[in-house]
Structure 1
Amino acid sequence: MTETGPIVVFANFLSDLAVDLAEGQILTQWARQAPRKAWLLRPGDVFVTPVPLSREFLRYVYDLTGVPPESVAVVEVPPAGAVPLARAVREAGLVEHVRALAGDRGAALLPTALDASAIAFARDVGIAVHPYPTVEAAEAAVDVTMLLNTKAGFRETAGRLGMRLPAGRTCRRPEAEGVARELLRDHEGVVVKPDRSAGGHGMRFVSRDDLRGGASLLLDAVGGPEGLWVVEECLDVAESVSVQLEVTATGARALFSGAMRTAQGSFTGYASPLPPSCAHVAGEMEEWGMALGRHLADHGYSGPFGLDGLVDADGIAYASESNIRRTATTTPHAMVTRLTAGRAQSHPAWSVSKGWTRSPMDFETALLRLRASHLAFDPERGEGVVLYADAPPDGRSWRYAVIARSAGDVKEQEAALVEVFAFEGG
């Protein structure tokens, strides 16, 4: 991750960057994905996690990545409610422990979200924030990071950068119903989004049918902050897509693109590369992403970010939002790249998704089932299924990645997994 020293992987899913901290339940749910950050660990690194990791999962990660278990430190932070991870570390009295583990080896903090709390924590521990040269440089990027993780901030910036956007308006929540009614005069449906939300959380879909009989749209019942909201036309969406990029010292560059799997606007999975049905939008999405990357660089940001888009039934792409942080696909992509390094297929196809088993399993049982069916990731072939996020708390809602040489092979292996794990609806 750095050439000079170890990384303190800081899984601060509990952050006000993507969602208001008042939305504690969804943040706690997202934090359960913290184990996937173990795929980033190298010898000498420290992992600060808000949820415990099973020994079986850690052994599995270390076996596949070749990291000696004794060469890394995992700091499990006790639950402290819907508060930033840095505060939970302080309340648990673990700051000195993390400082001692980081040592004086030129370590840097790698937060999931670059927010004020993470920067303050880096100062407390006495380390830099990756990939910035100083804590001050990271702090200077917080304003643009916070702004472009909002729907309103993105619409305003994307418009200036020349991206195609769905028709829409930004307003205060009490005005949302009136704005929705205005847009419904020209559009069959609208989507109402809280300004700061991620993964589809808090979105509300409203159609013309909801107006019949003079009924209220009951948008005042939508949860979330009282601040800004965005009301947009609801496109006839054929695909939800994204391009993931990064800003480095030499400029912005595209890393990968793919199609998102969604249900009612909520993220449920991802497949890369883009399928043939929407591969034609890759160039335009990348062009928009590069423009956004240049804008971010001009405002001091460095690191990964994503640009999401919607492809309508006519094959036209629209930009929908930006995620200026490590997203749900950043770490899986890093894992795929790491596990397939040196293979002939330098750009393998891959997917991440989630399935529900009919009965609970622990990690060891799930892995045995994978291996018995010959679906488990094989380092020799550089293909197979990876249980990338540990056993879920309920033992049923399993996150997995599939890595293969082609999109067709990914689909084939995923179909086999659905059968082997007896996923509901399979």
Structure 2
Amino acid sequence: MFANFLSDLAVDLNEGEILTTWAQQAPRKAWLLRPGDVLVTPVPLSRQFLRYVYGLTGVAPESVAIIEVPPAGAVPLAWAVRAAGLLDRVRALAGDRGAAMLPTALDASAIAFARDVGITVHPYPTLEAAEAALKTTMLLNTKSGFREAAEQLGLRLPAGRVCRRPQVDGMVRELLRDDEGVVVKPDRSAGGHGMRFVSRDELGVGALPLDPVGGPDGLWVVERCLDVSQSASVQLEVSASGTRALFSGAMRTVQGSFTGYVSPLSPSDAHVAAELEEWGKALGRHLADHGYAGPFGLDALVDTEDVTYATESNIRRTATTTPHAMVTRLTAGSANAHPVWSLSRGRTRTLLDFDGALTRLRDSHLAFDPGRGEGVILYADAPPDGRSWRYAVTARSARDLAEQETALAAVLEFEVG
């Protein structure tokens, strides 16, 4: 398990601050561990969290290895491993027993690191096959690359244009002649990072201020701002047998930034799920034709007239891939084999350590129960600030899910608003 959140696949490495923030989610990879596995992580995992994970997964601590890599700045994880002198340790643990690397993001540095260690990259049969997929992987993780592929495949897109940074201001003004609002996106970004919403009323006579994302002459996408009723996504997987949909759900967002997820989509949104799956499989065939194998996501917006528009693809393990695998693993064989589940985060009024938060959940009977397959899971360890908690909830129905989330907010004393 190679938790390379510090990668140039989703965001330029110059965006070091946001990458470092995302890397704090690396502990969630512990839910994938099985006997014999090795986890290489850019952040430490607390003993309390690991005890909690092993208790729910049944993995013996001595059967796995965790390599915590000291911070080395905004550099790929592979570089940080080398800088810390840990390459030989990784090689000794993994290189001589037919292991494969499971990276968060398939990028050039991860493939080079796999070659140094002497292992392949899952699910590719050879490193050469992984390298052959890099060009398409990098391209389809950009807004412009996705729009080009989506247009070829017949996916419905919001009206928009691709332009260089110096042309963004003029493009915004041009589109605002016909629309009340536009959204401006840096070409390579994820989770809503760097996105800017501009209304006709807000646009003054001066140049449009943009965040320093994408460089002075990088590509940007300017799109019509839809009247949105919900954000949705489908997660799929490309393999030798074709493309299959894994799950779909509704994304929780604030100003376009990802804050959480609920899966599956409601029965009233079955048509949205079906269209997303159809689009996702078309995109999967395109990816397979260009050598890609593995998981990917397709994001979309549904407007107030119930029309779905594809917005971007994430050709990597996303923020929902590992939590979904965790939920599937923990509920298998339980009384809740097909759970409704969510991801979210809340900020507590006071500082809590991991054991303190878990004790509150257990005392209030909200903690995940393996037999019932329901409850709250603290899936990402204690946050560095002791207050910004990420959690998952599993339930039998959307109503039960909402009730658990309301109770959780009271038990952990989340701030309101």
Please give the range of the TM-score, normalised by the shorter of the 2 chains: over 0.9
Structure-1 residue corresponding to 2:326: 335
Single out whichever of 103-112 and 382-391 deviates more from structure 2.
103-112
The alignment's TM-score, normalised by the length of structure 2, stands at 0.98
What's the counterpart of residue 11 of structure 1?
3
Aligned equivalent of 1:191, options 183, 208, 214: 183
Letter in 1 for 2:146: F
Q: Paired residue for 1:23, among 15, 36, 40?
A: 15
Alignment of 1:260-271 (within 5 A): 260-271=251-262
User: Conserved in 1, the CA contact under 8 Å of 2:95 and 2:117?
Assistant: no
Q: What's the Cα RMSD here? A: 1.1
Residue 289 (1) aligns with residue 284 (2): no
Aligned to 2:160: 168
Q: Does 1:113 align with 2:105?
A: yes
TM-score under structure 1 normalisation?
0.96
1:414 aligned residue: 405
Tell me, in whole angstroms, the C-alpha distance in 1 between the residues paired with 2:315 and 2:163: 23
Q: Distance in 1 between matches of 2:233 and 2:29?
A: 21
Alpha-carbon shift at residue 221 of structure 1 (Å) = 5.5
Match of 1:398 among 375, 379, 389: 389
Please list every run of 5 or more consecutive structure 1 residues that lacks an aligned counterpart in the other structure.
1-8
Within the candidate set 25, 33, 41, 1:41 is matched to 33
Cα separation, 2, equivalents of 1:320 and 1:288: 12
Q: How does 1:275-424 map to 2 (within 5 A)?
A: 275-276=266-267, 278-424=269-415
Contact 2:95 2:119 (8 Å CA) reproduced? no
Q: Who is 1:202 aligned against?
A: 194
Cα contact 1:278–1:315 (8 A) shared by 2? no
- CA distance in 2 between counterparts of 1:292 and 1:50 reads 31
1:349 & 1:89 partners in 2: Cα distance? 38
Q: CA offset at residue 103 of structure 1? A: 4.0
How far does residue 224 in structure 1 lie from its aligned partner after superposition? Answer: 3.3
Q: Could you give the per-residue CA deviations for residues 37-70 of structure 1, whole angstroms, max 9, x where no partner exists?
A: 0000000000000000000000100110000000
Structure-1 separation of matches of 2:259 and 2:116 = 36
Aligned residue runs from structure 1 range 190-269, under 5 A: 190-211=182-203, 215-219=205-209, 222-225=212-215, 226-269=217-260
Find the residue that maps to 2:399 and give its secondary structure. Answer: helix
Secondary structure of 1:335's counterpart equals: helix
What is the total number of aligned residue pairs between the two structures? 416
- Kept in 1, the 8 Å contact 2:42–2:77? The answer is yes
Match of 1:6 in 2: none
Quote the offset at 1:216 in angstroms.
2.1
CA distance in 1: counterparts of 2:211 and 2:316, whole angstroms: 30
1:383 corresponds to which letter in structure 2?
Answer: E
Q: 1:103-158 CA distances to partner (integer Å, 9 max, x unpaired)?
A: 42210000000000000000000000011111111111111100000000000000
Contact 1:174 1:220 (8 Å CA) reproduced: no
Tell me, yes or no, if the aligned pair for 1:239 and 1:278 is still in contact at 8 Å.
no
Describe the superposition over 1:185-229 as per-residue Cα deviations: whole angstroms up to 9, x where unpaired. Answer: 111100000000000000111111023xx5224245654323111
AA of the residue aligned to 2:224: E
User: More displaced, 75-84 or 131-140?
Assistant: 131-140
CA contact 1:192–1:204 (8 Å) conserved in 2: yes
1:5 alignment counterpart: none
**Cα gap change, 1:183 to 1:341, in 2 (>3 Å):** same
Find the residue that maps to 2:326 and give its secondary structure.
helix
1:333-385 superposed Cα distances (whole Å, 9 cap, x missing partner): 00000001123543210000000000111101111110000000001111100
**2:335–2:373: 8 Å Cα contact kept in structure 1?**
no
Structure 2 stretches lacking a partner, 5+ long: none
Q: Distance in 2 between matches of 1:37 and 1:86?
A: 17
Q: Name 1:92's counterpart in structure 2.
A: 84
Are positions 1:101 and 2:93 aligned together?
yes
Amino acid of the structure 1 residue aligned with 2:221? V
SS in 1 for 2:102: strand
Distance in 2 between residues matched to 1:231 and 1:319, nearest whole Å: 15
